[in-house]
Amino acid sequence: KAGVTQTPRYLIKTRGQQVTLSCSPISGHRSVSWYQQTPGQGLQFLFEYFSETQRNKGNFPGRFSGRQFSNSRSEMNVSTLELGDSALYLCASSLGPSGATYEQYFGPGTRLTVT
Amino acid sequence: DAKTTQPNSMESNEEEPVHLPCNHSTISGTDYIHWYRQLPSQGPEYVIHGLTSNVNNRMASLAIAEDRKSSTLILHRATLRDAAVYYCILKVPAGANNLFFGTGTRLTVIP
């Protein structure tokens, strides 16, 4: 079974631009979560989607948004990029929405650099 | 989610067992204990999880204290590939899938 794939792997953008990152979950997985990882803040939860609905959202500004398609693929968008948005963005997929017993499988991440 | 406390770093010699501790004194009766690890330049990887009883899988063992206020991840024979940051996370049953990562324990394996 193919793992979680994320595209692109690396991205360089300029302040003020917007960016869209893509995540394809493991086949059969219907839950997709997004995380931001920075050296200063560590791994932080952005949002989770299940069956095209956002189930939970972390403490990030409205510039960060996402969506999930009927095939469970997900995208996240960051508008009006700031220097502080430079980070590794990780996507994780899971069989179902219940977090207690389902493990999450992470992709390799998209390294975003904002200049 | 309840908070966990882990040592910032640990060292182990290659091929020796490693015991990674985690304190979670505010754990509720239904919280699951999950462990993930992140190897350099990779996304986190699921290791193991448990509720009350000790658990074993091909990667590791999880020993849970009787009062559930602490747990220990056991790597039976550390290899260089086990060098990673290990995260102990508590999950509420039937809650959202988001994981709240703390700072974790950076494990260094010495050849």
Cβ <8 Å between B43 and A58: no
Q: B97 CB near a chain A CB, below 8 Å?
A: yes
Query: What's the whole-number average pLDDT of chain A?
Result: 93
- Tell me, rounded to whole angstroms, the distance of Cα B89 from its chain centroid: 7
Asked whether residue A100 carries a pLDDT value surpassing 60, the answer given is no
Mean pLDDT of chain B: 91
Q: What is the pairing mode between strands B84-91 and B32-38?
A: antiparallel
* Beta carbons of A99 and B91 less than 8 Å apart: yes
Burial (CB count within 10 angstroms: exposed 0-12, middle 13-18, buried 19+), residue A107: buried
H-type helices in B1-92, by residue range? none
Nearest to B44 by CA among A36, A54, A1: A36
Q: Looking at the predicted structure, is the pLDDT value of residue A49 above 60? A: yes
With a cut of 60, say whether residue B1 has pLDDT above it: no
Residues of A with a Cβ under 8 Å from any B Cβ are: 4, 31, 33, 35, 42-45, 48, 50, 55-56, 58, 90, 92, 94, 97-109
Q: Which chain A positions have a beta carbon within 8 Å of B45's beta carbon?
A: 106
* Distance between CA atoms of residues A106 and A30, nearest Å: 14
**Of chain B residues 29-88, which have a CB less than 8 A from chain A?**
30, 32, 34, 36, 42-46, 49, 87
> Is residue B87 within 8 Å of B71, Cβ to Cβ?
no
Distance of alpha carbon A61 from alpha carbon A112, whole angstroms: 17
| Strand positions, DSSP E, chain A | 5-7, 10-13, 19-24, 31-38, 42-50, 53-57, 64-68, 74-78, 87-94, 105-106, 110-114
B60-109: pLDDT as tens digits: 999 999 999 999 999 999 999 999 999 999 887 666 667 788 889 999 99
Nearest to A33 among B87, B98, B102 (CB): B98
User: Coil, strand, or helix at residue B81?
Assistant: helix
Q: Are A66 and A76 in contact (CB under 8 A)?
A: yes
Chain B hits for A43, Cβ within 8 Å: 44, 87, 99, 101
Rounded CA-CA distance A81/A63 in Å is 8
pLDDT at B101: 85
Q: Is residue B46 over pLDDT 60? A: yes
Determine whether the interchain pair B43/A50 forms a contact, defined as Cβ–Cβ distance below 8 Å: no
**Does position A99 have pLDDT exceeding 60, yes or no?**
no
Q: Is B18 a residue whose pLDDT tops 60? A: yes
Instruction: Give the Cα separation of A67 and A39 in Å (integer).
Output: 26
